[in-house]
Amino acid sequence: MSWKGIVALGGTAYLFVAQRELLMGKLLKYPVWFLSWLLRSVWAMALKPVVRFVVLRGKGGGELPGGSY
């Protein structure tokens, strides 16, 4: 670790312990928002269709369990 890494880690630890409202409310608001938006988009566009295909293929072509009502 370099001295810059130690200073950055120490500053983050201080904010987490002493100024948690500032850290969570102001500094991490937009990065967390962007990350959640990105993960939702990846799920909706890439992973959900693959999971749906695998599940429906294993159930015999998309029939509902117990029949459709």
pLDDT of residue 35: 92
- pLDDT score, position 68: 54
> Is residue 24 included in any domain, yes or no?
yes
**Does residue 9 lie in a domain region?**
yes
Residue 2 phi, psi (nearest 5): -90, 170
pLDDT number for residue 56: 79
Residue 15's pLDDT is what? 80
The segments of the chain whose pLDDT lies below 50 read 69
Whether 37 is covered by a domain: the verdict is: yes
Dihedral of CA atoms 54, 56, 59, 62 in degrees, nearest 10, equals: -170
Domains in the chain, number: 1
- The pTM is what? 0.49
Instruction: Specify if 66 maps to a domain.
Output: no
Q: What is the pLDDT of residue 60?
A: 57
DSSP state of 47: I
Instruction: Identify the domain containing residue 28 by its residue range.
Output: 3-58
The reply to whether 14 falls in a domain is yes
